Amino acid sequence: MKKGIIKPPRLKQGDTVGVVAPAGAFERDPFDRGVAALETMGFQVKVPEGIFAQKTYLAGSDEHRAKLLTALFKDPAVQAIFCVRGGYGSARILPLLDFEEIAAHSKIFVGFSDITILLAAFYHKFGLVTFHGPLVTTLGKSSEKTREALLNAITSDQPAIRTPAEPVVLHPGYASGPVLGGNLTNICHLIGTPYEPDFNGALLLLEDRGESPYRIDRMLCHLRLSGRLKDIAGVVLGSFKECGDIDIVYDIVKDNLADRDIPILAGFEIGHDTENLTVPIGLQATLNTEMGLLSFDEAATKAI
C-alpha cells in the first residue's frame, strides 16, 4: 500500500485531540493528570466512551481496543490521537485494523514503548509519519522541556532538531535516512511479521527499559542474525533506563555493529526516562556525530 510518506495535518491551539488505549490497562490518576496537561497545552480532549475497559492486563478486549482506535481516526472532530499507556497489547490488535480506512483519515498519532508496534505498522502499511513521544499517563509528570518538544513537533512548521544533552559517539560519521524504530524489545517482536518496516537505509532509533545487558545483547544479536542491521544507515540511541551499566550497553551495541562503518550516536533524551523528547518516525533526517545532532529535513506535519 505504501507509496511514499504521508505527513499528517498540523495541530493548532484549540484543536481537539483524542485519547486511546490500544495496549495495557492503566490507572486513573496518571490518566487524569495527563488529560489536564493536554488541556493546559491548549487542546480540547475527547475521552471516548469505553476507554476505561479492562481485561486482565489489557485495556479491554482486542476487538474493543481496535474499534476505539479506528473510531478516533475516522472522527472528523479529532485532529490528533494520543495513546494512554504502553505496557503490552498493541501487537494483538494489528490483524483487526483496517489500514486502508486509517490511511484515508491520517492524523497525528503519538506514543512510545509498546506503541512502537503501531508506529512501525502505520509507516510500513501506508507511510504515515507518526510521533515517538510521551504517553498520556506520562505527560502529567513530564518536564517543560518534554512538553515543549512535543508541541514543537506537532504544531510547528520548522524541522525538528534533537541534540543529546551529553552526546556519546560510539562510532563517528554522517548519514541520512528515515528515522525508524523505537523500543528495542518491540522492534524484535515485529521481525518476520507482515507489519515489520524495511530498515534498509534507515537511521535506527533504539531505547528500552528494565532489560538486563544480556537481554539487550540477545535482542541486538537477533536483529543482526536476521539481517536487519546489515543495511541500516546509522543508529540513534535513546535512554536505557534500569538496563544496568550504560557503558556495558554501549559496548554491546558497538560489538553487534562492529562490521558496520556507520554513525552511532548515544545520549538522546528519548524514551523511558525523565525527559522524553518527541521524534518524528518515518521522516528523513541526518545524523551527524561531529556536531552531535539529529536534524530532520522538513517539518513533520503539513499545513491544512
Secondary structure (3-state) at 132: strand
From the list 64, 207, 211, 269, the catalytic residue is: 207
From the list 64, 132, 189, 272, the catalytic residue is: 272
Residue 113 is among the residues annotated as catalytic for this protein: yes
Cα Rg of the chain, angstroms? 18
Residue 124 is among the residues annotated as catalytic for this protein: no
Quote the cell numbers at residue 149.
518538544
Which 8-state DSSP code applies to residue 7?
P
What are the φ and ψ backbone dihedral angles of 128, each rounded to 5 degrees? Answer: -70, 130
From the list 90, 113, 142, 239, the catalytic residue is: 113
Which helix or strand (DSSP H or E) is residue 179 part of?
strand 174-183
- Alpha-carbon distance 177 to 202, whole Å? 5
Residue 295 is among the residues annotated as catalytic for this protein: no
- Alpha-carbon distance 28 to 47, whole Å? 13
Taking each helix axis as running N to C, give the angle between helix 213-225 and helix 246-256, from 0 to 180 degrees, rounded to the nearest 10.
Answer: 20
Catalytic residues: 113, 207, 272
